[in-house]
């Protein structure tokens, strides 16, 4: 156990307490004793409410389980099902039409449309890269990825042939985004031109900036008739600094590192040194960009994603020795750190509107959203912040939230700045909620099921009806294959075309490429057109993706189990052994995919569901796990620190994988965190 100090009856990890007192509270001029007394009082009020909300989740799930068990093997009657969900309080009445009242929102969120990065807050280098991804080189993005439909670069330095193909592609983009750009370079004018200075021209289209850099001495510019050395796109308008699914934070040590990095990017003094090409490089935050009287941000606008309501953390213990809810701890401490920006204590400003932006995941329904808003009220009072300084991003990723989305938005209507769809967690909750209804369709078929189409459309339509356009983000989910940028360019333009003014990307390079889509699509015009369209009803959203009566062949069962087992093991071994919460994990076909706890939730819940309904046997599951352990070992053979799964079935990583499947039906909402945290702590000790 770590050293602890007593703070108003709370037992706080000593290192965390010293950080809070000395690095967070002191610069704010806050009295530490007063803060801790207020924190303890806040916990006394909100911990019992938090526990009651979790108990309600369990109660609703038990009722739904019993309802399905009473109708085992039968098709679900939509009318009867909705009546039942209404009776138990799973479905609540729709609020009367309303418009959100959020104020003091930065333009990157309210009136601009562009990519959004999500980055694990524990990795300082990645965090700096993401914060600096406000601007990106389109030349580099094309040259280094398969987004360019041309022959791969030849090894041994710059490939002039591929470089020429990049230049052609970029000029084609410029012709479409800012017509007349070339005439400007030759001394003319353009409605798209915003500013010029020695060496470059600044254009704007659909609210986003493009910088054409002129440098006759540059290796690329000297051979270009117009001497263009690079074209920079305004790329990741916003970045979510993630303390949730993309990190493995299980104790005070981990949480302290997370809070310290968040403070570093908010204060502007975070730096990271690393070796590259035999040289030690130091990365820091980019400064703003100056064009005469025009100043443009040099960095993404930062959100911080707190954890949900479920987990507790041993960093701070209550008077009775129990761990405090981690979501409450995050709300208080990430806001206290955000208050540095409100007080303008840092090198740079994050929010010029004086707001703190928190994404809140994994909330089930409007009551939980209302609880979060009341919690944020209390945090603002504790920190002496004006009401609604703390803004909320509500992730529409749980079934009860999807089904009651308007009521959820209404519960946070004066502080909401973001809704988005999270297909992965939403699928995990879809499986777990209806776990006992019958076997689910195969995982690959989920994207074609009725509920997912209704889910994606309802999210946008309800957001527009509640007045989010021009005030908040309506977002879409992650492109999970960072090496497949060509395919991303084909598919992800569907997000702005669907009315989403932001969507998640896995890297700064992907942000630069995805930014091209927002030049091609005027999202706010799309939203205006969509506003008059009807919202899909509840029936398709609540259509359970069952495969009743399906008899899969032995080969089909093996294929499905192998796919789930490989993804599960590939992710779990890094989470448990290395403490890596999100990384590019090779899939069954050796394609690198960004994996986090949401993907794990699907794989583990799907296997648990098939086991429960006899679609497979325990022996078949164990056979897949053992064979896929060998595959995952082979995929990680180049990592000298990797500990093989094969032959280590008693080690924490493999045992965690077994628990996730064989205890999957018991896990609250099908979440993986309780088991991952428990086994990671075993590994750490």
Residue with tokens 């000297």: 222
Structure tokens at 103: 């104020």
Rounded distance, CA 490 to CA 516, Å? 12
Element (H, E) at 324: strand 323-325
For residues 142 and 489, give the distance between their C-alpha atoms in angstroms, rounded to a whole number: 11
**305 catalytically annotated:** yes
| DSSP annotation of 148 | S
Structure tokens at 405: 């989305």
Residue with tokens 């009743």: 548
Q: Active-site residue among 245, 429, 596, 659?
A: 596
Q: Which two tokens stand for residue 585?
A: 């994990």
DSSP per-residue letters across 53-113: HHHHHHHHHHHHHHHHHTTTTPPPPHHHHHHHHHHTTSS-PPPPS------S--HHHHT--
What token pair was written down for 664? 């999957």
Catalytic residue among 57, 305, 436, 597: 305
Distance (Å, whole) CA 679 – CA 685: 10
| CB of 234 closer than 8 Å to CB of 518 | no
* Token pair of 309 as six digits: 């309501």
SS3 at position 197: strand
Query: From CA 203, how far away is CA 188, in angstroms rounded?
Result: 13
CB 308 within 8 A of CB 364: no
Distance, in Å, from the CA atom of 476 to the CA atom of 517, rounded to the nearest integer, reads: 14
Compute the distance between CA of residue 434 and CA of residue 467 in angstroms, rounded to an integer: 32
Active site residue 596: yes
N-terminal to C-terminal alpha carbon distance within the chain: 10
Please state, in angstroms and as integers, the Cα–Cα distance from residue 539 to each residue in 70, 409, 454, following that order.
Answer: 21, 21, 9
Neighbours of 256 (CB within 10 A): 20
Exposure string (b/e) for 343-370, b if CB count within 10 Å is 16 or more?
eeebebbbbebebbbbbbbbbbbbbbbb
Q: Which helix (H) or strand (E) holds 118?
A: strand 116-120
Alpha-carbon distance 672 to 155, whole Å?
43
Between CA 405 and CA 535 the distance in angstroms is 12
C-alpha span between 657 and 568 (Å, rounded): 7
Contacts of 237 (CB under 8 A, 6+ apart): 108, 112, 113, 114, 115, 116, 134, 300, 301, 502
DSSP string, 214-270: E-TTSTTGGGSTT-EEEEEEE--SEEEEESSTT----SHHHHHHHHHHHHHHHHT--
| Active site amino acids | 305, 596
């Amino acid at each position: 156990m770590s050293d602890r100090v007593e703070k108003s009856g709370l037992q706080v990890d000593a290192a965390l307490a010293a950080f809070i007192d000395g690095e967070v509270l002191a610069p704010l001029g806050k009295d530490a004793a007063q803060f801790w007394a207020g924190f303890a009082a806040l916990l006394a009020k909100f911990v019992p409410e938090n526990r009651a909300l979790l108990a309600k989740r369990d109660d609703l799930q038990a009722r739904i389980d019993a309802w399905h068990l009473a109708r085992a093997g039968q098709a679900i009657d939509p009318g009867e099902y909705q009546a039942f969900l209404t009776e138990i309080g799973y479905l609540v009445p729709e609020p009367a039409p309303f418009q959100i009242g959020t104020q003091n929102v930065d333009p990157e969120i309210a009136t601009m449309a562009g990519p959004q990065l999500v980055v694990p807050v524990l990795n300082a280098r990645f965090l700096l890269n993401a914060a600096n991804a406000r601007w990106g080189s389109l030349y580099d993005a094309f040259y280094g990825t398969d987004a360019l439909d041309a022959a791969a670069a030849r090894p041994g330095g710059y490939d002039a042939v591929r470089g020429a193909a990049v230049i052609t592609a970029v000029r084609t983009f410029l012709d479409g985004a800012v017509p007349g750009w070339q005439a400007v370079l030759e001394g003319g004018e353009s409605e798209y031109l915003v500013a010029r200075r020695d060496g470059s021209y600044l254009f704007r289209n659909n609210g986003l900036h493009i910088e054409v850099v002129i440098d006759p001495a540059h290796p690329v510019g000297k051979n270009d008739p117009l001497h263009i050395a690079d074209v920079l796109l305004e790329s990741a308008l916003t970045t979510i600094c993630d303390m949730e699914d993309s990190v493995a934070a299980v104790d005070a040590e981990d949480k302290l590192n997370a809070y310290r990095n968040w403070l570093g990017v908010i204060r502007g003094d975070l730096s990271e040194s690393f070796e590259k090409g035999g040289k030690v490089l130091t990365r820091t935050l980019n400064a703003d960009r100056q064009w005469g009287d025009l100043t443009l941000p040099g960095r993404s606008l930062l959100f911080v994603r707190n954890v949900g309501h479920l987990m507790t953390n041993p960093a701070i213990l209550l008077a009775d020795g129990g761990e405090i809810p981690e979501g409450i701890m995050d709300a208080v401490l990430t806001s206290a750190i955000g208050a540095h920006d409100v007080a303008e204590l840092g090198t740079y400003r994050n929010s010029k509107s004086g707001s703190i932006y928190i994404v809140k995941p994994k909330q089930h329904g409007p009551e939980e959203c209302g609880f979060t808003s009341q919690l944020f009220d209390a945090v603002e009072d504790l920190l002496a912040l004006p009401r609604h300084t703390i803004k909320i991003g509500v992730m529409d990723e749980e079934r009860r939230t999807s089904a009651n989305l308007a009521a959820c938005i209404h519960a946070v209507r004066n502080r909401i700045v973001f809704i988005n769809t999270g297909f992965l967690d939403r699928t995990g909750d879809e499986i777990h909620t209806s776990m006992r209804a019958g076997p689910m369709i195969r995982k690959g078929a989920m994207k074609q099921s009725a509920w997912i189409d209704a889910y994606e459309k309802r999210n946008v339509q309800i957001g527009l009806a509640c007045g989010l356009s021009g005030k908040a983000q309506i977002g879409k989910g992650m492109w999970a294959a960072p090496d497949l940028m060509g395919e991303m360019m084909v598919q992800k333009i569907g997000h702005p075309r669907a009315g989403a003014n932001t969507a998640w990307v896995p890297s700064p390079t992907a942000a630069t490429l995805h930014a091209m889509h927002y030049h091609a699509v005027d999202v706010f015009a799309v939203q205006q057109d969509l506003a008059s369209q009807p919202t899909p009803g509840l029936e398709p959203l609540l259509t359970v993706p069952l495969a009743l009566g399906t008899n899969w062949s032995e080969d089909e069962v093996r294929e499905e189990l192998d796919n789930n087992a490989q993804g599960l093991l590939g992710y779990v071994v890094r989470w448990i052994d290395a403490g890596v919460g999100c990384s590019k994990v090779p899939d069954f076909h050796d394609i690198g995919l960004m994996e986090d706890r949401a993907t794990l939730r699907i794989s583990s819940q799907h296997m648990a569901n098939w086991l429960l309904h006899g679609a497979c046997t325990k022996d078949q599951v164990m056979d897949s796990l053992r064979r896929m352990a060998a595959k995952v070992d082979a995929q990680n053979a180049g990592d000298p620190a990797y500990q093989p799964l094969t032959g280590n079935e008693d080690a924490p990583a493999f045992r965690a994988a077994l628990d996730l499947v064989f205890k999957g039906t018991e896990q609250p909402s099908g979440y993986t965190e309780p088991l991952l945290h428990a086994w990671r702590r075993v590994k750490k000790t």
